[in-house]
């Protein structure tokens, strides 16, 4: 689970930083573009609307919140009522507080799963598509869509990232093999705004 | 942790007509309370033990009399744990690692719920006997043969405890279409472990097909419950 969390997180962060000259890309070019775009970003903020469709539930769960990130290893996500939650990841230390007055939960990840490790990994130039994944990218109008499909048969069936040609991600869709689907739409994305430590607090 | 989720969840459902310490006026004013046949709700769950604290958000489905499903989600919405209880059987799936555990509840390893099975039976038997006082404390022999103590208010169960130390309490009741639902439940084990479950935006007695209580096991490595370890 922690591994999946980190993979999703890195894809999520790099996608948010994609540059504005989006075009049709080969898989390698697509991954390389993600890497280069991340290199030019120090921090960002965005509003988030997360919609969860569970195959077992007719009702769609709609959660709203905001996210923040700062290099090299700080990530914060807050979900607003009625699904209050705050998550703070500082390299290998994951803290979260669920509910209005929920207790603080703290999990220490192994060092190889820490944010700094993952981002140093993705900072290396991409020369080939990593084994075990299939990547497709296409552009339509002002929107570029990148589809990532792991071949491992694991939990994640498909990850789709939709980017506007202004270089910001507008949509992220996670499709699980169970049919469960999570769609995240991002608004008011701001890059390199000078976030400080005070912007990454659960209090 | 699983057994606590199960027990508290079932307690919430089967005690849906009970009253709590923080009984709302709208709920206390009800003279005719409807029974819960199905319930679906997002939930937050929290487990605190001597050496760890775990919490998460998820979805809970219940269909009377004995089908229960609890899905715990990650902050990004993916499934962390999927649990299905159907009668005496239980299936636990961890999708990220591609493993599933299946068997009878009574076969859960001691650390994961051998004792929890007895507690589950105890929680299921939560209705006060006819002739019980509307308010007060009564004692009786529970289904597992232990002496249990039941606290009543307005004729309904507020709290149950066993002499061995287990305690379940029901809080923050709300009236949901003439059903009084405890929005917060807390259970304490004899070992001092504490589990809290909060219902968020529940829906009662809506249609829930039996297919919602089926877990797909294709592509997963299936193990007996004896292989289950603390996650």
pLDDT at B52: 66
Determine which helix (DSSP H) or strand (DSSP E) holds A15, and give its type and residue range: helix A2-16
Residue B12 in this model has a pLDDT that exceeds 60: no
pLDDT at A123: 75
Q: Say what the pLDDT of residue B122 is.
A: 59
**Answer CATH for A2-189 from 3.40.710.10, 3.40.50.300, 2.130.10.10, 2.50.20.10:** 2.50.20.10
The residue of chain B nearest to residue A12, with distances taken between CA atoms, is B76
pLDDT of residue B37: 83
Binary contact (A52, B216; C-beta < 8 A): no
A158 vs B113, more confident = A158
- Top pLDDT among B111 and A202 is at A202
**What residue ranges do the domains of chain A occupy?**
2-189
Looking at mean pLDDT, say which of A96-110, B141-155, B194-208 comes out highest.
Answer: B194-208
More confident residue, B28 or A189: A189
Residue of B nearest to A56 (CA): B212
> Which pLDDT score, from 0 to 100, does residue A68 have?
93
pLDDT level of residue B143 (50, 70, 90 thresholds)? low
CATH number at residue B62: 2.50.20.10
**Mean pLDDT across the stretch B151-179?**
83
Q: Picking from B4-8, B81-85, B194-198, B225-229, which range would have the lowest pLDDT averaged per residue? A: B4-8
Q: Which of B57, B71, B84, B213 to mutate to test the interface with A (most CBs of A within 10 A)?
A: B57
Q: Give ipTM to 2 decimals.
A: 0.72
pLDDT score at B29: 55
Question: Tens digit of pLDDT for each residue in A96-154?
Answer: 887 777 778 787 877 777 788 777 776 788 788 888 888 888 877 777 788 888 887 78
Judged against a pLDDT cut of 60, whether residue B148 lies above it is answered with yes
Strand A133-140 and strand A143-150: pairing?
Answer: antiparallel
Say what the pTM is: 0.76
Q: From chain B, pick out residues whose CB is under 8 angstroms from the CB of A3.
A: 96
> Is residue B19 pLDDT above 50, yes or no?
no
Lowest mean pLDDT among A46-50, A59-63, B3-7, B58-62: B3-7
pLDDT class of A12 with cuts at 50, 70, 90? low
The rounded percent of chain B whose pLDDT value lies above 70 is 73
Find the length of chain B: 231
pLDDT for the residue B15: 42
Q: Do B76 and A106 touch (CB under 8 A)?
A: no
The 10 Å Cβ neighbour count of residue B157 is: 24
What's the mean pLDDT when you consider all of chain B?
75
What does DSSP say about strands B38-48 and B194-204: parallel, antiparallel, or unpaired?
Answer: antiparallel
> Three-class SS of residue A114?
coil
Lowest mean pLDDT among A145-149, A176-180, B25-29, B217-221: B25-29
Q: What is the pLDDT of residue A36?
A: 65
Report pLDDT for B114.
Answer: 40
**Would an 8 Å CB–CB cutoff place B68 in contact with chain A?**
no
The boundaries of the domain holding residue B38 are 2-227
Would an 8 Å CB–CB cutoff place A72 in contact with chain B? Answer: no
Q: How far is C-alpha A73 from the geometric centre of its chain's CA atoms?
A: 14
pLDDT tops 70 at residue B131: yes
Q: What is the C-alpha to C-alpha distance for residues A169 and B199, in angstroms, rounded to an integer?
A: 33
Query: Residue A148 contacts by C-beta under 8 Å, 6 or more apart in sequence?
Result: A11, A133, A134, A135, A158, A159, A160, A161
Q: Which of B176, B175, B174 is nearest to B203 (CA)?
A: B176
A13-46: per-residue pLDDT in tens?
A: 555 555 444 467 788 877 766 666 666 778 889 9
Confidence at B28, pLDDT banded by 50, 70, 90:
low
> What is the pLDDT, as a whole number, of residue B221?
94
**Contacts with A, B 176-205, CB within 8 Å:** 198, 200-201, 203
CA dihedral of residues B102, B108, B109, B114 (deg, nearest 10): 180
Q: How many domains does chain B have?
A: 1
């Amino acid at each position: 689970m922690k591994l999946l969390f980190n993979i999703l997180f890195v894809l999520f962060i790099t996608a948010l930083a994609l540059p504005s000259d989006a075009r049709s890309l080969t898989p390698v070019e697509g991954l390389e573009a993600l890497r280069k775009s991340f290199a030019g970003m120090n921090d960002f903020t965005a509003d988030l609307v997360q919609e969860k469709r569970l195959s077992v539930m007719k009702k769609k769960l709609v959660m709203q919140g905001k996210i923040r990130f700062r290099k090299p290893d700080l990530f914060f996500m807050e979900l607003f009522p009625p699904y209050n939650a705050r998550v703070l990841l500082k390299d290998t230390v994951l803290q979260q507080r669920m509910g209005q007055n929920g207790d603080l939960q703290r999990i220490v990840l192994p060092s190889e799963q820490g944010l700094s490790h993952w981002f140093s990994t993705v900072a290396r130039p991409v020369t080939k598509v990593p084994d075990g994944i299939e990547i497709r990218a296409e552009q339509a109008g002002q929107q570029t869509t990148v589809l990532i499909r792991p071949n491992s048969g694991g939990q994640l069936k498909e990850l789709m990232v939709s980017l506007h040609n202004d270089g910001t991600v507008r949509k992220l869709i996670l499709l699980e093999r169970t049919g469960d689907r999570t769609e995240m739409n991002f608004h008011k994305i701001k890059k390199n705004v000078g976030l400080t430590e005070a912007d990454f607090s659960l209090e | 942790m699983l057994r606590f989720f199960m027990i508290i969840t079932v307690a919430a459902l089967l005690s849906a007509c009970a009253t709590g310490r923080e009984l709302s006026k709208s709920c206390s004013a009800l003279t005719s309370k409807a029974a819960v046949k199905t319930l679906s709700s997002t939930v937050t769950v929290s487990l605190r033990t001597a050496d760890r604290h775990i919490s998460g958000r998820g979805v809970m489905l219940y269909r009377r009399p004995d089908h229960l499903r609890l899905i715990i989600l990650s902050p990004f919405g993916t499934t962390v744990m999927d649990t299905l209880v159907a009668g005496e059987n239980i299936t636990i799936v961890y999708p990220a690692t591609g493993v599933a555990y299946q068997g009878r509840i009574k076969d859960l390893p001691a650390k994961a719920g051998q004792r929890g099975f007895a507690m589950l039976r105890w929680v299921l038997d939560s209705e006060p006997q006819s002739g019980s006082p509307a308010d007060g404390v009564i004692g009786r022999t529970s289904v597992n043969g232990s002496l249990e103590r039941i606290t009543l208010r307005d004729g309904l169960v507020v709290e149950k405890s066993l002499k061995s130390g287990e305690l379940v309490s029901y809080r923050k009741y709300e009236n949901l279409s003439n059903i009084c639902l405890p929005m917060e439940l807390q259970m304490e084990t004899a070992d001092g472990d504490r589990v809290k479950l909060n219902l968020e935006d529940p829906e009662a007695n809506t249609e829930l097909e039996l297919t919602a209580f089926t877990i797909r096991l294709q592509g997963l490595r299936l193990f007996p419950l004896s292989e289950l370890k603390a996650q």
